């Protein structure tokens, strides 16, 4: 098992293109006995409409239907992945609240599957799914493959984040100074620049200087937006 982990980690760490990375994930998926692989990530910003990115090798017609019917909004696996990092097995009970979605998925050969999500320090949530048309996933197979599937979920998200976050969430790579973090933290607590200057024992113009620097670095509209972004990204 350790040798398998090291080999796969080495393969994933050396790839800097998300499309090549997905092809490697697809190869590993087939080694585990599945036809289909899907990876999706949702970043934490903007709050009103978080950016998402998805890659899979599902039938093209199903991909088009999934988008056309906005199935992402009702997909029970997506809802689960955004609220829990526990793995989930596809079952009729899971998809009961989305009967039309489940019927359509099965019509394209997506009958048996397993998914798990992972959330990183930036707030980005990635989910890896394995699926196939035939052979139900029974407990003995899950017991034999559960560790590899869970480990691959984490490795895939870390590797994909390295490729995708600079594009989807460039603010995640921002470097804030300790003073910028301090003034944003107090800003997030509702303190004014004058109050922060007293707390930190620095001039108010210095407080505003650090706040403006943080606003620029985080590409924020104002200090409130900067404080929210910094909090969502784990800086505060």
Domains of the chain, by residue range, sit at 2-168, 174-232
Mean pLDDT, rounded, of the chain: 92
Question: Residue 7 above 80 pLDDT?
Answer: no
What is the per-residue pLDDT for 9?
Answer: 63
pLDDT tens digits along 34-45: 999 999 999 988
pTM: 0.85
Q: How far apart are CA 208 and CA 183, in angstroms?
A: 9
What is the per-residue pLDDT for 171?
Answer: 87
Q: How far apart are CA 211 and CA 224, in angstroms?
A: 10
If one counts every other C-beta atom within 10 angstroms of the C-beta of residue 207, the result is 25
Q: How far apart are CA 76 and CA 214, in angstroms?
A: 38
Structure-token pair, residue 121: 């320090």
What is the per-residue pLDDT for 217?
Answer: 93
Q: Quote the percentage of the chain above a pLDDT of 70.
A: 95
Domain 2-168 part of CATH 3.30.450.80: yes
What ranges in the chain are assigned the alpha helix state H? 2-13, 18-31, 60-68, 76-83, 92-95, 99-107, 139-168, 178-188, 193-200, 204-217, 223-232
**Cα separation values, 51 from 66, 74, 79, Å:** 17, 17, 16
47: confidence class by pLDDT, cuts 50, 70, 90? confident
What is the per-residue pLDDT for 49?
Answer: 87
Question: Residue 4 above 90 pLDDT?
Answer: no
Say which residue, 37 or 13, is predicted with more confidence.
37
> What are the residues whose beta carbons fall under 8 Å from the beta carbon of 48, sequence distance 6 or more?
none
Domain 174-232 part of CATH 3.30.365.10: no
**Cα separation values, 180 from 111, 144, 236, Å:** 51, 49, 10
What is the per-residue pLDDT for 121?
Answer: 84
**Cα separation values, 34 from 61, 110, 112, Å:** 19, 11, 9
**Cα separation values, 30 from 78, 117, 231, Å:** 22, 20, 39
pLDDT tens digits along 101-150: 999 999 999 999 999 999 988 889 999 999 999 999 999 999 999 999 99
């Amino acid at each position: 098992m350790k040798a398998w982990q090291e080999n796969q980690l080495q393969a994933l760490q050396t790839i800097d293109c998300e499309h090549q990375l997905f092809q490697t994930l697809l190869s590993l998926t087939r080694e585990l006995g599945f036809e289909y692989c899907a990876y999706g990530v949702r970043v934490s910003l903007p709050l009103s409409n978080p950016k998402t990115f998805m890659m899979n090798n599902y039938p093209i017609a199903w991909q088009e239907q999934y988008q056309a019917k906005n199935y992402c909004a009702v997909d029970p696996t997506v809802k689960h992945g955004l609220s829990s990092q526990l793995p989930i097995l596809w079952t009729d009970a899971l998809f009961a609240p989305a009967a039309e979605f489940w019927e359509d998925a099965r019509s394209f050969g997506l009958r048996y599957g397993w998914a798990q999500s992972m959330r990183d320090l930036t707030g980005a949530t990635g989910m890896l799914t394995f699926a196939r048309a035939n052979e139900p996933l029974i407990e003995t197979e899950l017991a034999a493959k559960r560790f590899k599937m869970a480990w691959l979920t984490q490795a895939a998200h870390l590797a994909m984040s390295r490729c995708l976050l600079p594009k989807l969430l460039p603010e995640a790579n921002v470097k804030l100074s300790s003073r910028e973090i301090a003034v944003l933290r107090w800003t997030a607590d509702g303190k004014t620049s004058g109050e922060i200057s007293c707390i930190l024992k620095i001039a108010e113009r210095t407080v505003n200087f650090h706040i403006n620097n943080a606003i620029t670095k985080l590409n924020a509209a104002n200090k409130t937006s900067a404080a929210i972004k910094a909090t969502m990204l784990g800086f505060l």
